[in-house]
Structure 1
Amino acid sequence: MRKLIVVLIITLCISFGDNLETTAAEEKTVYIMEVTTSPKKAAHYIKRHHPRMEVIETFDILLQAVAVKGTKEELEKLQQEPFIQATHQNQQYKALYEAVPNKEVFQNAYNPAQFNETKYTGKGIKIGIIDTGIDLEHEALKDNFQGGSDVVEYNDEPAETEEGFGQTIHGTHVAGIVGANGEIKGVAPESDIYAYRALGPNGFGTSVQVIAAMEKALEDGVDILNLSLGNTINVPDFPTSKAVNKATEHGVMVVVANGNDGPNDWTIGAPATAPTAISVGAYKHPMTEVSLWNERTKEKTAIFPMTGLEFWQKETTHYISETLNYTDLLLINETNKTELEDMETSNKMPRGIIIEAQLYEESFFANYDIPIAIVENADKLRQKERMFLHVKTETAKEDVAPFSSRGPVAMNWQMKPDLLAPGVQILSTIPGGYEMLNGTSMAAPHIAGALAILKEAQPTWTNEQIIGALKTTARKLADKRPIEQGAGLVQIDEAIHTSIIIHNPLLSFGKIHRFMDERIIELEIENIGDEAETFRFHMPKKEKGVTWHLPMNFTVGPNEKKTIPIQLKMNRTQIRDGIYEGYITLQNNNDTFELPYMYMLNETQQKKIDGFQIKEQPSTSEEDTYEFEFYATETLEKVDIFLFDTENYILEEKIANFDQLQIGKREGTFQLQNGEIILTNRFVFVFVIQLQDGEVVYETVDI
């Protein structure tokens, strides 16, 4: 059992507003139930024949479903009705961002207007933002705000949650990246912004709220939807992912943040996992970094200037101490920060102050005109009572942000993200002002704005052509893998003026199952120019057990679309386990296109079980059971589930077992034989998994 590692987190259903109410007898739970009949008819039937149930929402655009709330017994009775097709627990979603440490010093800020170097402004394009709401009176947003709704408190004013009530700023920041038109300008400053508040206090919401907001956006006729939200469940068929796919069928381009759980693989979460989602990773633009260099140890410690930028960027030698006996740089800790109250009356005023990020408070130094910097980890600065360190300033190269989630997607093995956009130190609107934030939440609205620019610039193009153009002309970052960057960093102007569109250029060949396997991807190349274009492939680097079959030369005529087969043959006995990825080079007379590809064999980092949740907690009755669900991300020979006590190292009892699991969702129930056990965080669920080749692996789930 010592080998067990925590690879999943139980996400218990959290609902907001009315969803937190409980009855005296038992807590009520919200489910989304897909139905075979009309959702409105189903809702009417439920109200008549299950009067204790509450119908929260009906979905008839993106899902054929109803959202209901009731006790365990009521839900069990409802599930027996023949029109109930599938049941999904109401998932929690959150805004995907983090605060930037040096909020007051904008020398490394990225202004969203930099992303759009064209003359186009997105004029008249409708962009729906599913988020925490918007500052309805913000000077840079109020003229572009054209409507929306609040599905948290159910009104027509999707305002941010106010201070003191779980204040939010996220939706306003996202909206500013898309279409601010004031002191700060967005990517598409003349686009029409429609805001839908689906994430309530502290930036949290549920599946029901997200899907309800998406349906209202489609009713309002939006052209583009931005979802800077997500969870950690890496499966492609959650209800929100299904809703994204359906919205695409309705002619809406849907942009989704890839997630902030990088840098490991397999960290993308729903709904970015949806096959038709334009999922976006975060690009880190080149920026000036300041660090303190220890000549003796050859180590550098990054610092983040808060005030006094000129002081911190001057390359000189400082000595640093945690006492006021020296007057150069003072390193603040929990103990000595109280001594600062005496600084102004002493002769020991330091020239500069460094403080650990977790101790920093903006109000703490409000009365001191001293250069201030913060440090994430001060341990390297505490090696001696008095240390001499040299200031270094350097420009860090562009990169994929380390927090940006990576693919691939479990179950369908799709490559994600699709594209990259700026997501580090993004300066945009917040209620009452402006601020920098980090996150794939900030990257996604850059793409939403880019789509609006292309839709304005090329009004005759289809959605598929617009998306294909962005992917075709994206710039590959050097030394970065396909599952880190997808097609690469979007270049709006190049996309507008391209004469070649490669549709679905991310070549995901999937997982190898047979000893001798063969995969073919039909690559569509469209020439929208007036002259014929001749193309040639460069054969990928030869690898043992892998054979590519590519046409050496082919021509695509003007205004012609041609399908080109990309064939990959693999000998499983000659290939090691793992993810294989790279780029296929395609050239014509004027351009070079780098097509990312990926395939895998028995990837060990991939979770075999995902999305495990306890659907119902037992009531006081001894007869009540726990209900649970999970997803098998690949075909499994056998799965046994045990309850393990981490304090006493005791395997308490076996709670369930499954044989011959196919890919997809599984449900079950269990009763604890030991009636004295109360499921707290001292317990974990242990999955003992036998793979098809006989290997046994272990995965655990926290409570």
Structure 2
Amino acid sequence: MRLLHLFILLLLLTGFQSPDENDEVTIIIETEDSSSLLAEQIESRIPRLEIVAQYDTIFNGLAVKGTAQELEKLARMDMVVNQYPVVKYKSLQQEMGTFSTQVIRDQYNPSYTGKGVKVGVIDTGVDYSHPDLQKNYKGGFDTVDFDNDPMETRGEGSTMHGSHVAGVIAADGKMKGIAPDAELYAYRALGPGGIGSSVQVIAALEEAVKERMDVINLSLGNDVNGPDWPTTHAVNRAVELGVTVIVAAGNSGPDTWTVGSPATSSKAITVGASALPSKAPVFGIPGEDRQIPVQVLLGSEPWELSRKYPLLDAGRGEEDLNHASGKIVLFERGEIPFQEKAFKAYQAGAAGVVIYNNEPGLFQGSLENLSIPIPVAAVSKKDGEWLIQQGVQQNQWLETTEISLDHRMAPFSSRGPVTNTWELKPDVVAPGVNILSTVPGGYAALQGTSMAAPHVAGLASLLKEAYPDWSPQQIKRAMMSSADILEKDKLPYSPTEQGTGFIDIEESFNPTLLIEPGSLAFGRIDQPLVNKKAELKLTNPTNESQTVHLEVPVRENGSRWDLPTTVQLEPNETKEVEVGLHLTKSFLKAGVHQGFIKLRNQDHDFHVPYLYMIGTSDYEKVSGLELSSKWAEARRYTYRFHLTDSVDKITVDLYRAGTMLSHGKLFELEDPKPGMVQGEFKVNTNHLEGAYIAVFTLEYEDQKESYPFPVTFTSS
């Protein structure tokens, strides 16, 4: 593969960009034939184009750079079957602070350490000079700068994410990773600020597969809940070629249908995040029944304030602070940096700072090495507004208490299932809250499914050392068969939250029963009466015979299960068990139905998640909108989006953002088919410069649904 030069990002998922004819941009082109032959044709027929990257292992195609006018000529080449704009990916992280890897290591006898196993970390790079990573770092590649130096970004836009992930997998120094003797290879696909592109991610996968990694960790993703995105296909292909690929589920929970590509890969091991038992500070207002988790910013002092403090609403911090002495200053995120807000409050005599988000959800943040001797915490927009209403406006004081937390799912962890395939995701969960690990210059605690995934990558490394001949499918089977169900209030979290449960390292080495597949997806039910069948393959890997007992799931009105009550397995014997599910649609409510089939032998309980869907559910039927101008004609635009269901008609209307004044129809589709929908339309952008909302209206079965997408037009 040739990697010749740093290429640029072309298109954000949420907007247009219209390059001039002489502007150079990069696109990915796909071919069903040899990518080398296509490269030769381009070099001979369109010599002004620069081939940035060539893919021939998990994806046939090229990344090509050139002017819009030259790139337009590619569409006339017979070998070109598709063109992709470059999509941004981002590392999935949130910050907090505590420690985890030693807790996990203490749960098993570390007779295996990952020795001789090659692990590729596709991320922001790795600080290979860190004393805990030096020993195990063996090399890698940088698909951002196209060289052999995958160091973390330094200076403006500096990163730490990849080093943190690498430490969880294989740190060997003051900190011990899950597999402290594994060989670390870094593939820098995410550049300054933790941002990268589909070109860079696929190129990194290509390099890692060619260099024969045993395990690859991908703690990155986007928000497309569908199986058809190019990176998802690339991950599936990597697994088919013998690599165990671990992917973070994403941080868009607790809503369902939030797992994004490439975590939607059916062949990868998708990992959600849980929190280990701990004690944690929470905010409250006296007399109010609400507790808000305290999330300190990276670089902050720990939140150890124990008495009650008055609150001061300081807006976004642009004005001078008055009367802040001895108070907790409440800021809204935005306008000025976190450290400037915190320093203002400290100078004004504040006891602490709370910054609330200016958009839904939590956020990540740091004080950027500025030492401030008061604690600085972050809360969500919803929680911040509640503190203003119940604290500031009611003249109530803020109190901090400590609570004991059980082993639980992290609320930010993305949930399944996956649209179109209706598969269950995640597959397993691992620690992802308050994970202390290596970063440039020392150690830091972060949280996110990005931190959960490397725990599983470390376990995969241990299993590969113990069983060198195991395939990725066998490693995945051992993990899912041995996982432990997580419960809340004595009831299990749902399969779409936890998959088969929390990884059990010790049990995965010596499972007493292996179950394949790890979960059962019966699909979507549209007929009045349906009989579904699935096969469970049960393997007894021990030297003793065993009896496996199966329990019928809790019966819903309108459903009936057929499965044997017992299965006898001789030593090392495998048997296929038929599971029948009979459904009467009229008796069942619409939406997702899920649960567990329980199995039991003389040693353990096992749980096989299942899922089926009656009719439809609350997933987004349109996602992943990409819009870009045609390379040689600024008024012509291409579109690409993911459609989950067949509909009769799609109409896309344009409205001015803010005023919502109509600017007409962009395009209309009759009977579009599910999957990736592509096409083009004409628009006069000279009169449309600025921010707009593209509203998709879907019509089907006498119903209408609308989905808004922010877009931006730039005049040519």
TM bin, normalised by shorter chain, reads 0.7 to 0.9
Pair 501,641 (structure 1): closer, same or farther in 2 beyond 3 Å:
same
Aligned pair 1:39/2:49, yes or no?
no
Deviations 1:225-269 (A, max 9, x none): 001111111121221111111111111000011111111111111
- The one-letter amino acid of 1:700's match is P
Greater shift, 374-383 or 537-546, is seen at 374-383
Stretches of structure 1 lacking an aligned partner (at least 5 in a row): 1-15, 101-105, 344-349
* Partner residue, 1:442: 451
> Which is worse superposed, 414-423 or 213-222?
213-222
The residue number in structure 1 matching 2:651 is 640
Partner of 1:248: 239
TM-score (norm 1): 0.88
Distance across 2 between alignment mates of 1:280 and 1:538: 27
**In structure 2, which of residues 674, 687, 692 is the aligned counterpart of residue 677 of structure 1?**
687
Q: Which residue of 1 aligns with 2:13?
A: none
Superposition pairs of residues 196-595 of structure 1, within 5 angstroms: 196-303=187-294, 312=305, 318-320=308-310, 322=312, 329-333=326-330, 338=344, 341=347, 352-356=351-355, 361=367, 366=372, 368=373, 372=375, 374=377, 376=379, 377=384, 378-379=387-388, 380-383=390-393, 387=396, 391-478=400-487, 479-595=492-608
Q: How far is 1:428 from its partner?
A: 0.4
AA partner of residue 209 (structure 1): Q
Q: Distance in 1 between matches of 2:278 and 2:244?
A: 32
Residues 97 and 437, structure 1, Cα contact 8 Å, conserved in 2: yes
- Asked whether 1:18 is paired with 2:7, we answer yes
Q: Aligned partners of 2:232, 2:476: CA distance in 1, in Å?
A: 19
Shift of 1:634: 1.8
Tell me which of 96, 119, 134 is aligned to 1:127: 119
Match of 2:99? Answer: 109
CA 1:612–1:294 in structure 2 vs 1: closer, same or farther (change >3 Å)? closer
Q: Provide closer, same or farther for how the CA distance between residues 339 and 468 of structure 1 changes in structure 2, counting only shifts above 3 A.
A: closer
Letter in 2 for 1:661: P
Classify the secondary structure of the residue corresponding to 1:625.
Answer: strand
1:160 matches 2:152: yes
CA distance in 1, matches of 2:48, 2:448: 42
Matched, 1:81 2:77: yes
Unaligned runs of 5+ in 2: 11-17, 313-320, 332-340, 358-364, 712-716
Give the percent of matched residue pairs that are identical in Structure 1 and Structure 2. Answer: 33
Secondary structure, counterpart of 2:70 in structure 1: helix
SS at match of 2:310: strand
Q: How far has the Cα of 1:618 moved from its partner?
A: 7.6
- The answer as to whether partners of 2:27 and 2:63 remain within 8 angstroms in 1 is yes
Distance 1:660 1:461, change over 3 A: same
Q: CA deviation at 1:222?
A: 0.9
Q: Which stretch shifts more, 245-254 or 628-637?
A: 628-637
Q: Does the CA-based 8 Å contact 2:330-2:353 persist in structure 1?
A: no
Q: TM-score, normalised by structure 2?
A: 0.86
2:668 aligned with 1:630: no
| Structure 2 residue 710 is matched with structure 1 residue 698 | no
CA–CA distance in structure 2, aligned partners of residues 71 and 121 of structure 1:
50
- 2:51–2:65 CA contact under 8 A, matched in 1: yes
The letter for the 2-side match of 1:471 is M
Query: How far apart in 2 are the matches of 1:339 and 1:509?
Result: 56
Query: Given residue 110 of structure 1, which amino acid in structure 2 is its aligned partner?
Result: S
RMSD of aligned alpha carbons: 2.9
What's the counterpart of residue 678 of structure 2? 667
SS in 1 for 2:687: coil
* Counterpart contact for 1:72–1:616, Cα < 8 Å: no
The aligned residue for residue 12 of structure 1 is none
How far off is 1:361 after superposition? 4.5
C-alpha distance in structure 1 between counterparts of 2:456 and 2:29, whole Å = 33
Q: 1:214 to 1:310 in 2, by over 3 A?
A: closer
Q: Report deviation, 1:608.
A: 1.4
Deviation at residue 461 of structure 1 after TM alignment: 3.6
Q: CA deviation at 1:365?
A: 6.1
Aligned residues: 662
Q: Is the 8 A contact 1:502 1:524 kept in 2?
A: yes
Is the contact made by 1:248 and 1:254 (CA closer than 8 Å) also made in structure 2?
yes
Q: Mark the CA change 1:80 to 1:555 in structure 2 (over 3 Å): closer, same or farther.
A: farther
